[in-house]
Amino acid sequence: MAQENTALAERAKRARRIVKNPSLYKVCMGCDSIVASKVNICPNCHAYRFEIDSDFVVNQAKALSTREQNSVVAEDLS
């Protein structure tokens, strides 16, 4: 349970960073992950379609910060 709370706290911390500067990020339309704006291919699902609208990015960051991670990321595959 403590590990779960730590993970949620870390997600909330990342979300605050994204909300402060949403123009530095975009949302992958393949897996709903938030990635850096300079990324051309999602590192998680390899999609190449992204939403760059700041309001969309902020809303996604807020949504992701309130729940556990349920997607597979690159670190999970190594």
60: DSSP letter: H
- Provide the domain count of the chain: 1
**Residues of the chain whose pLDDT is less than 50?**
none
Q: Is 4 exposed, middle or buried (0-12, 13-18, 19+ CB in 10 A)?
A: exposed
Q: What is the pTM of this model?
A: 0.80
CB 57 within 8 A of CB 36: no
Helical (H) or strand (E) element with 64: helix 54-65
> What is the per-residue pLDDT for 20?
97
| Tokens 């850096």, residue located | 36
Residues spanned by the domain of 34: 2-77
> What is the per-residue pLDDT for 11?
83
